[in-house]
Structure 1
Amino acid sequence: MRFGILGETRAWRADGAEVPLGGPARRALLTLLLVSPGEVSSIDRLAEELDPAGTTSAHALQSQVSRLRASLGTEVAIERAGTGYRIVLPAEDVDSCRFERLADEGGRALREDDAVRAVALLREALGLWRGQAFADLAESETARAAAVRLEERRLGALEDRVEAELRLGEHRAAVPELRELVGRHPLRERLAGLLMRALFAEGGQAEALVVFEETRRRLADELGADPSTELTALHRELLRGDQPRAQAAPPAQLTSFVGRADEVAAVADLLRVARLVTLVGPGGVGKTRLSVEVSAVAGDEVCFVELAALRDGAGLPRALLGALGLRETGLHLAGSGQSPADRLITALSDRVLLLVLDNCEHVVEEAAALAARLLATCPRLRVLATSREPLGVTGEHLWPVRPLAEDAAVALFTDRAAAVRPGFAADPEAVRRICTALDDLPLAIELAAARLRTLDVDDLAGRLDDRLGLAARGSRTADLRHRTLRSVVEWSWDLLTEPEQLAASRFTVFAGGATAEAARRVCGADGETLESLVDKSLLEVAGGRYRMLETIRAYGAERLDAAGDREAVRRAHTGYFLELARSADPQLRRADQLHWLPACTAEHDNLLAALRWAVGANEQATALPLLASAAHYLWIRGLSASVAPEAIALLDVLDGPPTGLGEEYAACVLLAASAPAGQPAWRRHRASAQSALALAWPGDRPGRYPAVPFLWMMRNAAEPDPQDAFALLTAQLSVPDLDPWVRAAAQYIAGFGALGGGDTEGVAHAIGDAVEGFRSLGDRWGTALALDALAGLATAAGDRAKALALTNEALALTEQVGALEDSADLLVNRGDHVVGEDAEAARADYERAAGLARRAGSSTYLAAALRGLGDLAVLDGDLAGAARLYEEALERIDPHGVRSLGNRVRTLVGLGRIAERHGDGPGARARYREAVESAAAMGAPAADVLRMAGLPESVIEAVSAR
């Protein structure tokens, strides 16, 4: 028998027939017993709750119990227990208990990022409510307290359900309901946050901001409280309009722009007729700031690339890829072999964009060559460069950036001085003398003006003149303007206390800035010292990170070298970031990966700097663990190629695995192979690395780095003899109490082993277990990987509906982690699933995939999208258009890439069919033979591949026979 107390109290038999319960007194008694089913309620409490006036006797209560027993019959017992009664039934038979169980499960599914399951559970839970809880016992204090608790749970479940629906993209449907809920619960911040998210997803940023402001005002007026940190953070996000992995915008400026308004307009006008403009001038003259201001009025989309941190020109293309928000690889680990420069061309070929290359002087040759190539192949691109010397490219227009005019220099000094000394006023002639001594260089002026916080103008002028005299008598070979700027930095440095000088010199080992914790630990400084350096303009702080101007950093590095302190500080820096990588590694296999991935990305430059030092110092015991700890992050983010040079350099001095570092050595070999230059090292060390992994991962226990053998198998799968790699993890399945992620990874790999043996059912079972394992841990990357594999199985079995559902689920996960290439690949797959039933939906997917692939600079996935559009053109009868799309796809496809196999075969088959339509039998057969050869070269059964491409058996037999 089932009971309902979420509304009027009701009861139903197993066949669905409702049980007549009698009058209000009997319903109220049953409701009281059902508040806590199975627990004893005393006779006195029952009597008091049923009749607060005290007129109900024990005998009258016993009579009501007897009537209730008669109504319920023998299916449910109401027992006398001591001095009270209890109803004996499973808690699940009461709708309130069932609601709480379903709400708990739904909330857990939401936390585990299974939004589909969460929505189903929470809708079922909320569907149990028929009205106000305990409606037949409104006067009872016990019932009122229980009802309040259940109503709170109901509202929480409703919030969970809406959040899960938003994760599934159901923003539009959620907005009206959320508006109504926020109206009923105006102080509930989570509801306000959900409404803000839903509105923003529908393009209503302004409306979302209004919701925040109304909520903030109500909290202040009614509770005297501020919004929570979560709601405030969401408000900041909305103000910025943040999107994951956005391309680099010009840096925000915290000070006014003085003295160059005419230059801004002139350079902007020049850019309208010239596609390459270079701002040239000495260090500190204001080239970067001028480029930022020009970017603001350029009228086009802008990508701002800061090159000062580059070690050499080899990293220039990857720096541009990073600034454009592009990853080098994605979910599928087999790379396309395409160079970073080629990917840039793919990404920028059709875009209207102003690309700002800031600080080119130390990589001027490489910057010139890359700018020339991009401008030649991307007709809608314009480049604004800053450099101490011209790039020397044909068509370059130079704009010399001069020191400030006298009046502008005085205005700049006065403006910056007023910022540190409110009400600042001084003799303009004294200020003019200071600016003249500084050659009217903006950076020097700003540094000098900042000193007025503690000095008078006359003292400042005296010290500065003396320092400039010393600088002028320095090296005759140094550039005069450089010596002038050095004197300002040196003077600023000498004003620091000894602890400040020590902290500032040590800070120069950081690349890309540092968090407060990292700065304190590596520099051996306290927070007060760091803040003092910020006050004195030696450090900047923004977004929770400290940064140092490059000019000051270069000077501080010299002081660090002079003190003989560099090695010790570098060792501390490397130790800190090795510890960070080790802490992050296990979290990347859990639900917290969405926190740790951005954290690692923010420290990517520091991780590289630490690795480079360890490799350069031949600190193998540090470099190898750093590579192994960072391997998983690098693969997920698509950044493995960034460490390939260091991995190759390590392998050049290694004959095999160092003692106790077999797994780390294998990670090094794996990462070296992520770049074309690492292929010789891969071939030379692969066998010994495989053996080292086998020793580190015996069948009775796992190793230290679960991601390494997993990634090894995926890289090694393209080799002629991959089977040993499969055994590394699959042997772990017999280990008791195995780490859940290792088990999921082993099940995924076991599925591929079963696939090699033709056991399709075993494959589906193993990979299905992997999906559940990854999903239970909250690993979106692993879950998407396994879902994609299941979708492939469903496609091979002809179950397109299942393949489509799995692909949609995987796509939602890749979009969460911002994987452009993976999302493009999955969109093409989805288009292939629906092309026969809904051509327009397929077209939308192919076109969106093409757009994502262009943004990612991925020729492979752009080719896949073009192939899909070619298929649609054939269906539309546009054979000429289809041929053009197929040919363009064929030009972009990597003929050796594992991920390119299916699309290359399908493209060749498409061209063969067009040849057949035109009556060109020999041409068609030639294309089909190319398809067979492409499939065979990758070890795939030619007939199966051609059959999946849709060729009839007669053609398959004829072509395969050749």
Structure 2
Amino acid sequence: MEFRVLGPLEVVADGRRIEVTAPRLQQVLSLLVLRRNTFVNVSELVDELWPDNPPVSAVSTVQTYVYKIRKLLDRYGAGHMLEGRPGGYQLGVPDAAVDLPAFEDALGEGRAVLEQDDAAAASSILARGLALWRGAALAGVVAGELLSAYVTRIEEARFLALELRIEADLRLGRHLELLSELKSLVVAHPLHERFHACLMLTLHHAGRRGEALGVYAALRRSMSDELGLEPGEDVQRLHQELLSTAVSLGPVVGYRPAEPAVRPPVPGPARENGGLSGRPAQLPHDTPDFTGRSAERRRIAELLTAPVDSDHTATRMAVLTGLPGAGTSALAVHAAHRVRAAFPDGQLYAELDGSGAPQEPGDVLAGLLRSLGVPSDLIPDGVEERGNLFRSATAGRRILLVLDDAASAEQVRPLLPGDPSCAVLITSGRRLHGLTGVPHLTVEPLRPSEGLAFLERTLGTERVAGEPAAAARLVELTGGLPLALRCVAGRLATQPAVPLRAAAVRLAGAADLIAEFRFGALDVRSRYDAGYRGLGHVEQGVIRLLGRLPRSGFSAGAAAEVLGVEARTVERALETLFDHHLLRLHSCGPAGESRYAFADVVRRYAHARPVFPRPRRSGGDRPPLSALPTGDLVPAREGEPVAHGASAYFGRRSAPDAV
């Protein structure tokens, strides 16, 4: 059985073409063929088919499409090729059965031969590869974001092969033979500088220099009108050479196109080969049941894959921040997988451990350089020198870098590449104000509809549909926090006989709800403990006390009254908690002052921590809040107003309604 993607999608068995007419089936099969011999998550298929609002039945519908494809293949004894695995599928197809690898091989071989100055062989090999094309890649197939990225890369490879074949023919002096082809190409692609340059060179060698100069004038006019840009340096230099009649018989001066990668990268260790390696593919595995976040995924894709032009020379970046357990890392990995086809030179991943013991930038840079194939003995000692080498190693390469759990802007800054072709996606538990001009996206808890969709994916549609009110209550009790919801769903998945209503009643009656959000290695409290330990003593004290205030919100001034602490000290503490996503900017009061509120999960966590000091020692003064050790605290007494307990510690009384 053969699969052809260099043109309309075709499936051929025993010399006969098998009709795959349903648009959705074409879409799924195309993605499986392009990702052949690699695992494809169900979530990727869902995102491809329904990029914005997937239906509740999306997963089961994908299963139906895969079943129909397997049934189609099975008619010709090939059903075993499509293998189902937990969370996804894999189409096992040898490269010889797909036309794309044959073209890729011809492209690579032709380029290598051309670099060895064997233009005749290069022209023949590249022409053989181009002959495999029957039209635009996957013509007629409806393409979503992921499939569109693959199609774009395949088409770019086609252009490269065509450019290299033309370059080989130019070296062979086939100027007259190229004229009609090049004239058709510049008409079809009026902004393609390389085709125009080749036509200019061909016309000059055909003794038609005036026409060659006219081609440059037409290109310059089109680029100015359409893009507001001048032609590139190579074409301008060729124009000047034409004016001075000092044009060589070789290719356009300085032109060395980069070979794109059209095959999906296969994860594996980087190769140390005395130079830069091929294409590192370090992204962690994607979450099979990733749900929702459609708006966030679109925005991340826009930021990371924005077109590069002369007006935008900065590296494309985005920062994801959010509550502990909000799924910033999962979203980053998922989004990175969705755009990885746009970064054919590799995807790098580094865990910065900002929530614990932050990694030193120098150590991270050493790992990144080794991943790019730089031998260890060539990596310099200093952070600045390593950063310079890293920027040199990534220059001119389309590489995606994911920096997970950053501690600060200072930790991140030395790790950034400098080339606009690269992109960086950063996650952090706090806002990184030091990264000037970098867009920050706040990852909020899941919306109720997204939470229900997640439960359907993990527990099954029938189970959730049978108890819709209880399912909605579970989402509400977790506050939509993905980690908490995953803990609850994971436990229920192992207990199929337990009604959802019983689970909801148990959670609602739990004395320590946060303690219920634990399943296996997943633990919400540990995430918040890590964030809490990263705070200063003042912020820790503030969160312990203010966690018992009303849900309606409070201002910095009211908090200072309750705590009996200088207003500016409290303001700074609240700003820090806001930057760590432990407080929300709730609203503005009548006088324009900021009003804060705790997210429900944070309030519950704070409420579970000890608050008030043990009785003060005789003859001793009360220590300041910043010096209060955790061991000197005891929990609040049942029913004791917060303000009363605080006044016992701070030496004053503040009315609860002051908040």
Q: Smaller-chain TM-score range?
A: 0.3 to 0.5
Q: Give the TM-score normalised by structure 2.
A: 0.35
More strand by share: 2
User: Highest relative contact order (Cα 8 Å, sep 6+), 1 or 2?
Assistant: 2
Q: TM-score when scaled to structure 1?
A: 0.24
